[in-house]
Amino acid sequence: MPDQIADLPDLRADCTRCFGLCCVALPFARSADFALDKPAGRPCPNLRGDHRCGIHADLRQKGFTGCTVYDCFGAGQKVSQVTFGGQDWRTGSEEHARRMFDVFPVVRQLHELLWYLTEALGLPAARPVHPELRRALEKTERLTRRTAEELAALDVAAHRQEVNVLLLRTSELARAGVGGKGRGKGKGRGRDRRGADLMGARLRGADLRGVSLRGACLIAADLTGADLRGADLIGADLRDADLTDADLTGAFFLTQPQLNAARGSGGTRLPASVSRPVHWTAGG
């Protein structure tokens, strides 16, 4: 797959151009992911006056693993610099801040769709739907540039459903002909595991080539050495999944937050669109 996504900085978070929106707009619940409770709209106590995190280098050690697996897909800088023209929530009115916090999650969803659509356009097998994908991408980009009032009123769920139809078709085209032994031309039993409950599943060395794992629960699953080439991983929950030495080459619709939530090693093979998480060690 062409590394188109890697060349799109607007779809990658740039905290230097954001007003710390994820640290204010979103709520935290005390859990294994967060060390404290924080309601939406209240700044995290670790957020400094310059909109930077005071414990960024020690988030995992301080009990904020949830922060390390979050990604806004560039929505933070879009809302900060485009939607609100560089006026931050600290200096504006309470109404200005509230609107900014309301809009941020909407734009974040739209930017995630832009990520998927951009990746889909980089898949040669999806060429039959490229014109439709391109139109959907252009429409989604236009939506991100609407006014704050328009964005707050946007039915983003309906738009996601519209785009999802195209992404499903993309998945079918991309996975056609990909599969393991006994699957013929990629049409074997078990290729559709959408929404499957695979929590803690023992899938060490499993042949999952060309399998749809859309929305599958793979929490704490053992995927050591598994072959996930050409698999559809959109929405799959990979929290604490063991991807040590797994092969995800050509897997698509895999995002950095999903990967950051998993465990892996220097031997884990990844698509070009994502980076090896810094907390993975070379040994596993």
Give dist(CA 210, CA 203) in Å, integer.
Answer: 15
Question: Of the given ranges (5-9, 24-28, 31-35, 85-89), which has the lowest mean pLDDT?
Answer: 5-9
Instruction: Phi first, then psi: give them for residue 53, nearest 5 degrees.
Output: -80, 130
Query: 211-256: per-residue pLDDT in tens?
Result: 999 999 999 999 999 999 999 999 999 999 999 999 999 999 999 9
pLDDT value at residue 190:
56
Query: 117-176: per-residue pLDDT in tens?
Result: 999 999 999 999 999 999 999 999 999 999 999 999 999 999 999 999 999 999 999 999
Note whether 138 and 113 are within 8 A (CB): no
Place of tokens 């991100």: 144
Between helices 156-175 and 130-144, what is the axis angle to 10°? 150
Closest alpha carbon to 71 in 108, 106, 38: 108
Whether the model clears a pTM of 0.95, i.e. scores above it, the answer is no
Query: 38-91: per-residue pLDDT in tens?
Result: 999 999 999 999 999 999 989 989 999 999 889 999 999 999 999 999 999 999
pLDDT value at residue 278:
86
Give dist(CA 134, CA 16) in Å, integer.
Answer: 30
The pLDDT-based confidence of 92 (bands split at 50, 70, 90) is confident
The secondary element (H helix, E strand) that includes residue 161 is helix 156-175
pLDDT value at residue 5:
58
User: Residue 263: how many CA atoms within 13 Å on its side-chain side?
Assistant: 13
